[in-house]
Amino acid sequence: MLTEEVIIMWVIVLAFVAVLVLLGLRIVQQYETSIVFRLGRYNRTLQPGLNVIIPFLEWVHTVDMRVLTMEIPKQQVITKDNVPVSINGVVFFRVANAQTAVIEVQDYRYAISQYAQAALRDVIGGMSLDDLLAEREQIGQSIQHNVAAESAKWGLTVSGIKVQDVDMPEELKKMMSRQASAEREKRATITKAEGDKLAAENLAQAARTMLASSGAMQLRTLQTIDGLGPTASNTVVFLLPVEVFEGIKAFAAAQKPQP
């Protein structure tokens, strides 16, 4: 028969084995990848699901493989035409190679953040203010190209970089507002002048048409009077050629009875 000491020993052994088994189980989520280091050296990569490791000999580093979003803090930059601006943005990236991202760089999040800030300052510093305000999409693509080329060595893939906000001094904003207002006023003046020119050309064409017909002016006058409407408050004054009055006199004389 088993003695009490033997039973206790077996219980301790089974408990120790159960603890080792539990410590050796690792569940990797679908959106994760785990890197296994055995005695300090890279050993293998764990895929999503239930995995087993050797406790106390293997160490696991888990990496999120989803698209990550990181804000580029607001940067003070001097543009090519010596205008100080503050600009920030956002970086969208993901880990393409978990092994490289863990082994080749100490902290890939911090590294890509710092590189994106430097790339933003370099790109903005080589552009004028007008280009900065008009070409945000192109600026984002230029920064993305610079960051993606370097981050690929770290096992990262940059899917996009967007410029969010551009802040300028208040005095410059007022000057730009006055410039925009003057530009709109110039366009309005040009549009009005073009309209006056077209109206004058149409009037000249109408005058030539009326000149070709002897009764056209009288008909146009009657049409204008008819368009005024039967309102008693309207007073209409218009001119008639002398020939009309002479014709009226001749008509009246012809209607008088002869003595």
Predicted confidence at residue 230, as pLDDT, reads 64
Q: Which residues pair with 94 in a beta bridge?
A: 157
Residues contacting residue 61 through CB under 8 Å, at least 6 positions apart: 34, 35, 37, 102
Instruction: Please report the beta strands in the chain, taking only residues with DSSP state E, as ranges in sequence order.
Output: 25-28, 32-38, 41-46, 49-52, 58-64, 68-78, 84-95, 156-167
Distance CA(42)–CA(182), nearest Å, equals 66
Q: Where exactly does CATH 3.30.479.30 map onto the chain?
A: 68-172
Q: How far apart are CA 175 and CA 236, in angstroms?
A: 52
Partnered with residue 87 across adjacent β-strands are 75, 166
Instruction: Provide Rg for the chain, Cα atoms.
Output: 44
For the question of whether the overall pTM of this predicted structure is more than 0.75, the answer is no
| 195 contact partners, CB below 8 Å, separation of at least 6 | none
**pLDDT per position in the chain (259 positions), as tens?**
557 777 788 888 888 888 877 888 888 898 899 999 998 888 888 888 888 888 888 889 889 999 999 998 888 888 888 888 888 889 999 999 998 998 988 889 999 999 999 999 888 888 888 888 888 888 888 888 989 888 889 999 998 888 888 887 777 667 777 777 788 888 888 888 888 888 888 888 877 777 777 666 667 766 776 666 666 666 666 666 666 566 666 656 766 665 5
Name the class of domain 68-172.
alpha beta
Closest alpha carbon to 119 in 177, 176, 77: 77
